[in-house]
Amino acid sequence: MCGILAVFGCVDCSQAKRARILELSSRLRHRGPDWSGLHSEEDCYLAHQRLAIVDPASGDQPLYNEDKSIIVTVNGEIYNHKELREQLKSHKFNTGSDCEVIAHLYEEHGEDFVHMLDGMFSFVLLDTRNKSYIAARDAIGITPLYIGWGLDGSVWFASEMKALSDDCEQFMSFLPGHIYSSKNGGLRRWYNPPWWSELVPSTPYDPLVLRNAFEKAVIKRLMTDVPFGVLLSGGLDSSLVAAVASRHLVDSEAYCQWGSQLHTFCIGLKGSPDLVAAREVADYLGTRHHEFYFTVQEGIDALEEVIYHIETYDVTTIRASTPMFLMSRKIKSLGVKMVLSGEGSDEIFGGYLYFHKAPNKEEFHEETCRKIKALHLYDCLRANKSTSAWGLEARVPFLDKEFINVAMSIDPKWKMIDRDNGRIEKWVLRNAFDDDEKPYLPKHILYRQKEQFSDGVGYSWIDGLRDHANKQVTDSMLANANFVYPENTPATKEAYYYRKIFEKFFPKNAARLTVPGGPSVACSTAKAVEWDASWSKNLDPSGRAALGVHAAAYEDAK
């Protein structure tokens, strides 16, 4: 991951303004510690903080076309850049960077080229020939991007809110799958897959088609010139990522380049479910496995830093981000700069335990669509910012465009949980990789039940956070929360505590409105309550809300 900052239409074009842009861009240096760049053009600035993953030697940004009339700053990876270069043979490339194709595609196709990109990306492009500019974000919002407006009429774009929140009067999260054009003066959607309309699909389930699509998604994300690994919790999703990557690397150049084994990483409180399961999977796959431990107190001590980096006060996100943040620091200390992770599977396949209560396939499908559309506010935000805080890039094969199209075209009757017929959550995915002749994973791992990441690192983690928050927030403070925080009023002491920290770093109303709010959204089980009213009594947004569904005995585990 990299950090980008772009400003257009500044009234002040002085040396002091340039210094200010550099200062604000430096707030993103954690995302790109390898190099910094800045292009200024009259009242326009494009700044970049680089994390060098592909072509570390010559891929510094901003990037240019041949005559430098097109300038682009990019955060992300373009996995099909080699294929795109074949279509751009008339152009001269100055670097081996996967992102340079963006400048040349714009030359060839104008603004209507974004759908050709296969990858995760946020970029800003300036066309000096007519003083126009565009900005775009990937289909699902894997990479973060914000847009803001200054009092002087300037328009700002940044990878993280902290780079523009002080200088913009208003700002918001840039919508995934959208492009902003200065010519048209607004956002428009470029990503319009069939499933987006939420019409119920009818394609029959073919396990081999699903398996092949996922294997392709993993393999294309092994594009790297630096050491890499896999985040392995021992659950289904991360285990499948590790299994596919491990198989592919046996005969690849990357396998020889970075050692004799795939590296895998896991974190948890000592004795946590994830540590045990991840070790078993790593032993089965023969990976070089790294276990990291943290204590509840170490997690609590990191909370302020975590919230500053992830820029949200959502309870579930903070709970899960903290161990991921701590793990990322350890991974970076080993010299690793890129990891694969398993985010997105639960949204696509209805893996959350409340999907057990879905009354029919229509509502099941609609809820998966809603969850995918909100990923940029939750799991994508967590995975990207928790790792980028330490200059580590996370890639997410389940959110591959082609894989999503395959998975979301399956008739949702196959995704429905049917215990009587042995179909637990995500059965279609488990079954696709259930190969007796050449097993990807042991059966009991392949059919291991869903575990929230914040629970899997150790059940006492959530309890420790609650206990700490209860000591910091009084009953009176919570009773008057609606007066102190009228927007997205916190409903629990834990939520109130996180909100206090967030407001210290981001006090503007625009900042707090970038976080989705309201009990139904924060709980993430609004649909579950609709499907089963008894769940309305449990406001906790973790997997524990699925009482009667999850097999683990939480009380015994405390």
Q: How far apart are CA 313 and CA 306, in angstroms?
A: 10
Host H or E run for residue 496:
helix 493-505
Straight-line distance from the first to the last Cα atom of the chain, in angstroms, rounded to the nearest whole number: 37
Report the pLDDT value the prediction gives residue 314, as an integer from 0 to 100: 95
Indicate the residue type of 414.
W
Contact 496, 313 (CB under 8 A): no
Could you confirm whether 2 is annotated as catalytic?
A: yes
pTM value is 0.94
Structural domains in the chain, sorted by start: 3-192 (3.60.20.10), 196-469 (3.40.50.620)
Contact 440, 382 (CB under 8 A): no
Report the pLDDT value the prediction gives residue 542, as an integer from 0 to 100: 56
* 341 is known to lie in a ligand binding site: yes
Looking only at Cα atoms, what is the longest distance across the chain?
71
* 142 is known to lie in a ligand binding site: no
Contact 100, 78 (CB under 8 A): no
Q: How far apart are CA 392 and CA 52, in angstroms?
A: 10
Report the pLDDT value the prediction gives residue 140, as an integer from 0 to 100: 98
Q: Which residue has the tokens 């900005």?
A: 135
Q: Which residue has the tokens 């959502």?
A: 314
Which residue, 378, 263, 396, 266, is CA-closest to 321?
378
* 467 is known to lie in a ligand binding site: no
Report the pLDDT value the prediction gives residue 455, as an integer from 0 to 100: 64
Report the pLDDT value the prediction gives residue 521, as an integer from 0 to 100: 47
Q: How far apart are CA 554 and CA 544, in angstroms?
A: 8
* 267 is known to lie in a ligand binding site: yes
Report the pLDDT value the prediction gives residue 428, as an integer from 0 to 100: 98
Q: Which residue has the tokens 């894989």?
A: 403
* 98 is known to lie in a ligand binding site: yes
Q: Please give the average pLDDT of every successive group of 10 residues along the chain, which has 558 residues.
A: 95 94 98 96 96 88 95 97 95 93 97 97 97 98 98 97 97 98 93 92 97 98 94 96 93 57 94 93 96 97 98 96 98 96 97 91 96 96 98 98 98 93 93 96 87 68 96 98 95 97 97 77 61 70 53 38
Which residue, 70, 71, 48, 53, is CA-closest to 157?
48
Catalytic residue among 2, 266, 369, 523: 2
Q: How far apart are CA 527 and CA 357, in angstroms?
A: 9
